[in-house]
Structure 1
Amino acid sequence: MSSNNSNDTTPTSQLPPSVLICTFVSSLLSIVGAVVIFITYSLVTVARNQTRRLLVYLTIADLMTAVGNLVGASRYVYIYVIKNETEYLFNRQMQNVTTDAVCDVQSFVTTFSSLSSFFWTSIIMIHILMTLITQREWSSLRNRVIYHFVSWGVPLGITFLALSYDVLGEDFLTSTGPWCWIKGCLHKPEVFLWKALTGKGWEILTYFLTMAFYIMMKIYMWKRRLRFKDRSHHHLREEDELYIMIFFVIIILRAAGTIRFLYAIENTNNSPGTFDKVLLHIQSFGDSAQAFANCILFCIRDTAVRQDMWNRIRGMCRPVRDEEPLLAVTC
């Protein structure tokens, strides 16, 4: 895509270390959280159902996002902190120079993984709602094929579309943290259009979809409990009802980035204010933290999973009893 250097954005000053720390900490926590989710799915039999399998697919996407943001933040530290190339950002923005390979690859990966995460989040909510209504695991072969086509295929198609138009690259911190996304040297309307198409538009749609599914499930469960006076009619474990809380996880973690995006559209003053800087810190932590939050919600808070893993750890740590000593021979 051709673009003249008519973007109104000005060179962004170097990020404060606290923003980088937020990104590094949340990314590393999510990597650990993703590993824990994979381990519990492999070892804990009671949690090995279709809902947990969908969570594993979501975790794969969130793990890619965490690793991508970690790479992006590391690139930022190398260029702007270690090498201290203070003119790097200005020159690239003003001259519309193609960004480096690390930035391009990181932007491609995190764009794809973020979109995939939004789709898997919505599918989990749909799956739970239909499981409650049909009273059986809504996991036919056709449904599984549709799940994977929508959650992997559609994001991949959108990301390749952005790649074909050459819009992935250095973001210049417009509504992101210390990572790459859509080139900030494009015309301002183009930047926001591509960011809506490759992430924020789908993210906002996910907010409304998951909120609608959450309300529908709560109403359905409330009516069924009034009718049956217990929960024996549910085809879900009691702990599996935590999955409907995934609606709050995505909103709490990613709302700051959405607010910054909407604020940047309306903001005519290009210098970020205190409000934007506060949101930047929250976004730098939240955008990479979903796998960690899901680990807390679906592993640590899940009684069966927590108890099973604790028993395994205790069994591994318990010392092996020595063999009974031979009786001493008395002379």
Structure 2
Amino acid sequence: MGNNTDPVEYIDKINISEIVLTLTGSSLSIVGAFVLFFAHYLRHKSGKPVDEVRQFLIFLTIADMFNALGLLSGVARFLNSEDSTEDKVAACHRHEEFGCIEQSYMTTLFSMSSFFWTTIIAFHLFWTYEDNSPSSFKKTIAYHFITWGIPFAITTAAVSKNLLGSDLSAGSGAWCWISACLPHYDRTLWMTISGKGWEILMYFSCCAFYLLIKWRKIQIQRHRTKVNISSSLPPRQTAVQSDEETNPHEDLRFLLLWLIEVALRIFGTVRYLTAAVRRHTAKELKSYYNSVDNVFLHFQSFGDSAQALCSCLLFCIFDTEMRNLLKDKFFCSQKCSEKRPLLTRQTTTC
């Protein structure tokens, strides 16, 4: 591999603020993932139905949690590194630090899996709109093949070709991704194949599914309005009937997952695009991107590691039903045990 890295471009890129932001986002995401898993367990234990979309949310959270664990290990590797940025550039990573490739493999695989699960959820909501029937076994297998199999194949191909390593934060934060030792064209190509291309595709495909669901909902409401006008049902009874016919599992919050991904990861996407421009344009144009890149790096350091945290906030903290389940488990149980000697067994049920 030829050394195409410009040392001046990457010196002093990471400082304590990026370290703190990555540690905070990753740690909170891991905690949030376990809270969401526990809330899912309580919902299942209470006998409430757990539809397919909520199961897909669990798989998405698993991917986000392992991505956060990978970013934590990347920060630990960065803090334990003794070589300066100049030394790394000069050596072109002929001897990669222990854990760099392993961490890059982990974060690359699970971040891609997160993109795929977000897209699958949006597709599933569109495909099953006004249809409560569960997916067929073949469709479920296809979902898992896409979301786990494709990222695994791409990441394994990348590591077999010695493409993973420290990118000197050209497209990432304080963690490894695609090696900075690759020629410019190869770096841009594999950054696209191993993450950013799928991420951008997720933005547009989920937006399309969201708009299609909204359009279909409008069409259905127009049809119901025409039917209701010609029917003899009273207005109040007609409204109740329309509410009952509404698909119960079509939840707006699941459609917001892609917006969360966009809000959290758009800064990394912009940095990837500006890094590609720097790589493939004249040197005199590169300085114009440095200030934007440094600002966006702060947001990326937190955003790339905070997906599971935001999922927990959206589906546990801001969800009244799930919040009450957690509150009853941690607070009501203690109150019930205190009142048990004074109250009958029937009245102590929470």
> Shared fold by TM > 0.5?
yes
Q: How has the CA–CA distance of structure 1 residues 233 and 248 changed in structure 2, closer, same or farther, with 3 Å as cutoff? A: same
State the distance in 2 between where 1:322 and 1:142 align. 50
1:91 Cα offset (Å): 2.1
Unaligned runs of at least 5 residues, structure 2? 225-238, 343-350
2:144 is equivalent to residue 148 of structure 1: yes
Counterparts of 1:40-51 in structure 2, within 5 Å, are 40-45=39-44, 46=48, 48-51=50-53
2:66 is equivalent to residue 64 of structure 1: yes
2:339 is equivalent to residue 321 of structure 1: yes
2:323 is equivalent to residue 306 of structure 1: yes
Q: Percent identity?
A: 35
Q: List per-residue Cα deviations over 1:127-185 (Å, max 9, x = no partner).
A: 1111214x114422111100111100110000001011101011111111000001012
Question: Match of 1:73?
Answer: 75
- The aligned amino acid for 1:307 is N
**Secondary structure of the equivalent of 2:326?**
helix
The question of whether the paired residues in 1 share the 8 Å contact of 2:23 and 2:75 is answered with yes
State the distance in 1 between where 2:313 and 2:266 align. 19
RMSD: 1.8
Q: List per-residue Cα deviations over 1:89-129 (Å, max 9, x = no partner).
A: 32222222131231110000000001100111100111111
Counterparts of 1:185-264 in structure 2, within 5 Å, are 185-228=181-224, 230-237=242-249, 240-264=251-275
State the distance in 2 between where 1:317 and 1:292 align. 27
155, 163, 172: which one aligns with 1:167: 163
The question of whether the paired residues in 2 share the 8 Å contact of 1:214 and 1:247 is answered with no
1:223 Cα offset (Å): 2.5
TM-score when normalising by structure 2 = 0.85
Question: Match of 2:89?
Answer: 93
**Secondary structure of the equivalent of 1:5?**
coil
State the distance in 2 between where 1:258 and 1:101 align. 27
State the distance in 2 between where 1:23 and 1:4 align. 31
State the distance in 1 between where 2:253 and 2:157 align. 36
The question of whether the paired residues in 1 share the 8 Å contact of 2:7 and 2:86 is answered with no
2:5 is equivalent to residue 7 of structure 1: yes
The question of whether the paired residues in 1 share the 8 Å contact of 2:5 and 2:181 is answered with yes
State the distance in 1 between where 2:304 and 2:146 align. 22
Q: List per-residue Cα deviations over 1:181-233 (Å, max 9, x = no partner).
A: 01012112211111001000111011111010111111122332343453322
1:63 Cα offset (Å): 0.4
State the distance in 2 between where 1:244 and 1:104 align. 34
- The aligned amino acid for 1:265 is A
124, 127, 131: which one aligns with 1:127: 124
**Secondary structure of the equivalent of 2:53?**
helix
State the distance in 1 between where 2:340 and 2:264 align. 51
State the distance in 2 between where 1:233 and 1:55 align. 25
